Structure 1
Amino acid sequence: MLGSLIDDNLEIRKIAEEDLPELWALAFKDKNPEWKKWDAPYYAHEALSYEIFLYKKYDFLNQTSRQAIVLDGEFIGMVTYYYEDEMRKWLEVGILLYEGKNWGKGIGTRALRLWIEHLFNEVNLPRIGLTTWSGNTRMIHVAEKLGMTMEGRMRKVRFYDGEYYDSIRMGVLREEWESIE
């Protein structure tokens, strides 16, 4: 399904064996990594030893639903998709850039644009969605820049750091996507 998606110095491709040390260091080495404050921090994060991570590596290597984001040849994050309801083709996407040095530079917007375009081209879908939380204003902004519309707000259902936040559902219909691309 996926070869390599390229936008200048940004590439989305299959996660490779050589990405695993960096993926572990960025995602699983630390118990409280910086990125976790933005990526569903209301869910527990578990640090893993490198040995346990390697034991589970095939979860990353054998999936088309998780792909590497590579910038200037360096693994920096992942794009993902999952079916909320596969029978009805309700597909949701996600993105994760692990280090703050890559935030706020348009990298996530570029990567998510490539990913959504690829999914619309490869899968017969009427809509692609994205779910985040109201504390992640950068993610909401990226979704809006890509033409996504807020479709739902479940108020005060995410509890983090002593405060309640909203769950935000955003989406773009195929015909909307085609009109902005």
Structure 2
Amino acid sequence: MMKGKKEHVSIRPLDETDLEVVWHLKFKASDQSYRKWNAPYFHEHEIPLAAFKKRYVQDDAIPPKLYGIVIGGELKGTVSYYWENERTRWLECGILIYDSRFWNGGVGTKALSLWIDELFSHIDIPRIGLTTWSGNERMMRCAEKCGFTLEGRLRKVRYYQGKYYDSMRYGMLREEWQSLLQHSTE
């Protein structure tokens, strides 16, 4: 987080204009340091804006898979979900804060907590998963602070810059989230 400032953090669905901002943050912004932490062992190539928009503009009947993280009134990141297996109702979520000035200050924890609540409120699932890698200690701490449980560690399956890392699989059950909410209001 920017030093000396406690910013208001919220999440919201994105419109087409917001998608242009996210595309710019993802591919054109001068601060691309997020790439060192967001699964850097995969090589993501820039896609045209139209293709990026097509990926996320969808029928209103489906809960949007991508929300914006708004910090101090500006779009600075995204939270998302995808189906690991929709037939078996296995859902995974993720978070990206593109602007590194907002790392390490609780913004990610707040945004991820809001996203978990949104997902459990609008999708009938018993569990939310989150997968990261052992090189991303901030993401592991964020998941744990939000109440996720480390459910599995796949050892040495992520190779990056000459070193092997573990894949870290976290999960949270609906009843665990409800218990956390209940205890936070007491």
How would you bin the TM-score normalised by the shorter chain? Answer: 0.7 to 0.9
SS at match of 1:57: helix
Name the CA distance, whole Å, in 2 between partners of 1:10 and 1:173: 24
Name the CA distance, whole Å, in 2 between partners of 1:110 and 1:31: 25
Indicate yes or no: 2:60 matched with 1:61. Answer: no
User: Partner residue of 1:39?
Assistant: 38
Name the CA distance, whole Å, in 1 between partners of 2:145 and 2:24: 30
Q: Where do residues 12-23 of structure 1 align in structure 2 (5 Å cutoff)?
A: 12-23=11-22
Name the CA distance, whole Å, in 1 between partners of 2:96 and 2:180: 24
Contact residue 31 and residue 46 of structure 1 kept, 8 A:
no
Contact residue 31 and residue 100 of structure 2 kept, 8 A:
no
Name the CA distance, whole Å, in 2 between partners of 1:173 and 1:122: 15
- Relative distance call for 1:179 and 1:33 in structure 2 (3 A) is same
Q: Where do residues 90-169 of structure 1 align in structure 2 (5 Å cutoff)?
A: 90-169=90-169
Name the CA distance, whole Å, in 2 between partners of 1:85 and 1:68: 24
User: Partner residue of 1:27?
Assistant: 26
- Corresponding letter in the other structure for 2:49: F
Q: C-alpha displacement at 1:17, in angstroms?
A: 2.8
Structure 1 stretches lacking a partner, 5+ long = 1-7
Structure 2 stretches lacking a partner, 5+ long = 1-6, 182-186
Contact residue 80 and residue 94 of structure 2 kept, 8 A:
yes
Contact residue 151 and residue 169 of structure 1 kept, 8 A:
yes
- Relative distance call for 1:126 and 1:56 in structure 2 (3 A) is closer
- Corresponding letter in the other structure for 2:160: Y
SS at match of 1:121: helix
Name the CA distance, whole Å, in 2 between partners of 1:11 and 1:31: 24
Indicate yes or no: 2:86 matched with 1:86. Answer: yes
TM-score of the pair, normalised by structure 2 = 0.85
Name the CA distance, whole Å, in 2 between partners of 1:124 and 1:59: 23
TM-score of the pair, normalised by structure 1 = 0.87
* Structure 1 runs, 4 residues or longer, greater than 6 Å off: none
Identity of aligned residues (%): 48
- Relative distance call for 1:133 and 1:150 in structure 2 (3 A) is same
Contact residue 56 and residue 65 of structure 2 kept, 8 A:
no
Name the CA distance, whole Å, in 2 between partners of 1:78 and 1:68: 4
Q: C-alpha displacement at 1:27, in angstroms?
A: 0.3
- Alignment deviations for residues 27-51 of structure 1 (CA, whole Å, 9 cap, x no partner): 0126992101000000002135xxx
